[in-house]
Chains A and B, each alone.
Chain A
Amino acid sequence: MVTGRLQASTSVTTDPETGSAGVLLEATGLTRHFRIGGPFSGRFLHAVDDMDLTIRQNEIVALVGESGSGKSTVARLLAMLYRPTAGSIAYRGRPLGSMRSRREILSYHGRVPMVFQDPYSSLSPVYRISHGLERAFKLHRPELSSEQRQEEAERLLSSVGLTPPSEVLHKYPYELSGGQRQRVGFAQALACRPELILADEPVSMLDVSIRIGLLNLMAELRRRERVSVLYITHDIASARYVADRLLVMYAGHLVESGPAEDVLRHPKHPYTQLLLSAVPDPRAPIALTGRAEVGEPPRVVDPRPGCRFRFRCPYAIDECSRVTPRLRLLRQAHTAACHVATSDLDMPEQEGLP
């Protein structure tokens, strides 16, 4: 398979523990359907279909897509909050489905914690900030003494930029701003000594002047604490800002994946191209001639085979409505699921458009 070749071709440090090339988390054929309209309706919403995804050590991967594209479902599947309908997820080579004991699952939650979108509802209003950190320590690091816990809590708060930590520890969530609360979310995630943080739209509820600080924090945590981050967002510009790799989802399918800069400069999938052309950017030249896009995202209830973007795609051909395109390697480490997109591998200098 294409993705398999990809991993081998990218140079990453080999981890002795896992044997494979620093792969932390690997999902294969990940699928999640939701039954809709009552138990006997027999209708299923295909939130995620047949998705392969790899996250390596010390890497920031951005999962980009519009609302309803299935990106949050992916995060919840990876966090073991949902069970996949089909496909498997392996953590350091170990399938999540084989984890049975509470201890194993708890340990996985500690290694792969989640940071949620809404900092106003993800912290309990009745507990001080210290509570969430203490709980994480008790569950995931029982070896710490109470002084060590205090020390570690303060260290974590300062590492996410909340100072003075001894004061912040005693505050209640209502005393903190949205940006500060989201930093608490990251501190709680870090308290479990994670290897991968699943961050589901961590900045979309924050004011624009605050967002960049949190994006910088994610980059810093990767550098300092050596964690990987799966950054889920609808904002491709912020994805480009922090991520090494970009994954683009459309209607439950992974449609493009590759190094962030390469995807941005040479988008291969027509949806990625549309997405990039729609980003409002004051630095871009004025172009009001763009056509008003009338297409709407598809409803993925019992979809038929074929590319799900075909209804909006200016390049669609017959094959697109018959065969679901698979990801193909079109540039170095860069894949797209499109029948029409051309490969640049033979002529690396040329910009290929489908």
Chain B
Amino acid sequence: MVEYAAASGPVRAVDRVSLTLAPGEFLAIVGESGCGKSSLLFAIAQLLSPPAEIVSGSVRFLGQDMVTLADEDLRHLRWRSYSVVMQSAMNALNPVMTIGEQLRDATLAHEAMPGRMLRRRSEEVMRLVGIDPVHLQSYPHQLSGGMRQRAMIAMALLFTPQLVIMDEPTSALDVVAQRSLMIQIKALQREFGFAVLFVTHDMSLVSHFSDRLAVMYAGQLVELGGTRQVFKDSLHPYTVGLMQSFPSIIGERQVLQGIPGTPPDLARPPAGCRFHPRCPHVMPVCRVEESPVFTRSDDLVRCHLYANGHGPIASIHQRHD
């Protein structure tokens, strides 16, 4: 659980979210603005700063609980074992330092390395992400948006970590650059076998790239399953609504409805199921009682429709959390 301290009382941005990520797996977390997806990511990466705070729960990574880990030990894990790629490369890169200097800084912060080796490593990671190493001498403003974002990824790969956490790395790019970056991330992942935790608001973007998909709504995980499975056979009404919010360029032109209403304010979440004011299948119980989590092997859904073995799928079990 993550809460933000606010004048009117704590705002719970992430509410009892449980996830596991296997080595080498690509897990995408999708949701709308304010659903808590970035807070979750920051909580996992131990990057939250006041007023945000993890109020309960744990993050186990390589056998250690990162929440209780001392800063000194955390620093040892950061960058070497896991790295983070931020949303806006223009803000994440230092505008008055060349890319090469920033790569050097990041490296030296975590490992003493002789100059020649450092340069070789920097050139290597730049080539990996498809940028000519001459740009080590370039300043961020001399690169295009796509190249900056690639440079960020190059930096994240300096120590070939086991986990790369990405917060909407493509959202500032146009579709052509976006697709090529996704293809590149996937290729690098295949080559080095790191796991990817990828946060985005655009679920169609990850449809061809992620192994599993987690859907968040109003701070909660509402659905989790294999990506193709979720796309083909969405369980939660919110996921179904999201799927019907994207016009397609394929097939006949269809009239879409989107989802009526707007996402709730997390300072005042609705009673019962948080999606009930917008849900086409709302039942009386939804207004008063929060749905438990139902699981089917590794899949998960939080919706009353699946209580007592009802709903479109059988063999679904309630999880007690």
Residues in B with CB closer than 8 Å to A213 are 257-258, 260
**Contact: A240 with B180, CB < 8 Å?**
no
**Given that A212-B258, A237-B246, A283-B248 are contacting pairs, would A290 and B253 also be in contact in the complex, using a CB cutoff of 8 Å?**
no
In this complex, which of A215, A234, A241, A274 has the most chain B Cβ atoms within 10 angstroms of its Cβ? A241
Residues in A with CB closer than 8 Å to B262 are 177-180, 207, 210
**Contact: A283 with B251, CB < 8 Å?**
yes
**Residues 247 to 272 of chain B near chain A (Cβ within 8 Å):** 247-251, 253, 255-260, 262-263
Bound state CA distance, A275 and B259, in angstroms? 27
**Contact: B187 with A280, CB < 8 Å?**
no
**Contact: B180 with A211, CB < 8 Å?**
no
Closest to A161 in B: B260
**Contact: A286 with B208, CB < 8 Å?**
yes
**Contact: B144 with A296, CB < 8 Å?**
yes
Residues in A with CB closer than 8 Å to B6 are none
Bound state CA distance, A237 and B253, in angstroms? 10
**Given that A207-B33, A212-B256, A241-B253 are contacting pairs, would A292 and B130 also be in contact in the complex, using a CB cutoff of 8 Å?**
yes
Q: Is the C-beta of B88 less than 8 angstroms from some C-beta in chain A?
A: no
Closest to B256 in A: A212
**Contact: B207 with A280, CB < 8 Å?**
yes
Residues in A with CB closer than 8 Å to B231 are 282
Q: Is the C-beta of A66 less than 8 angstroms from some C-beta in chain B?
A: yes
**Contact: B176 with A66, CB < 8 Å?**
yes
Secondary structure class of chain B's binding surface, majority of residues: loop
**Size class of the contact patch on chain B:** 35 or more
Closest to A219 in B: B255
**Residues 254 to 276 of chain A near chain B (Cβ within 8 Å):** 261, 264, 274-276
Partner of A278, one of B178, B256, B263: B178
Closest to A65 in B: B174
**Contact: B180 with A294, CB < 8 Å?**
yes
**Contact: B176 with A293, CB < 8 Å?**
yes
Q: Is the C-beta of A126 less than 8 angstroms from some C-beta in chain B?
A: no
Bound state CA distance, A277 and B249, in angstroms? 10
Partner of B249, one of A209, A279, A291: A279
In this complex, which of A208, A264, A286 has the most chain B Cβ atoms within 10 angstroms of its Cβ? A208
Q: Is the C-beta of B184 less than 8 angstroms from some C-beta in chain A?
A: yes
Q: Is the C-beta of A347 less than 8 angstroms from some C-beta in chain B?
A: no
Residues in B with CB closer than 8 Å to A87 are none
CB 8 Å contact bits of A173-184 with B (1 = contact, 0 = none): 000011110000
**Given that A207-B33, A275-B175, A292-B180 are contacting pairs, would A282 and B207 also be in contact in the complex, using a CB cutoff of 8 Å?**
yes
| Residue ranges of A at the interface with B (Cβ–Cβ < 8 Å) | 66-67, 177-180, 207-213, 215-216, 234-238, 240-241, 261, 264, 274-284, 286-288, 290-294, 296-297
| Residue ranges of B at the interface with A (Cβ–Cβ < 8 Å) | 32-33, 130, 144-147, 174-180, 182-184, 186-187, 201-209, 231, 241-251, 253, 255-260, 262-263
Interface CB pairs A-B, < 8 A, 11: A67-B174, A209-B263, A210-B262, A215-B247, A238-B247, A241-B247, A261-B253, A280-B204, A280-B207, A288-B209, A297-B144
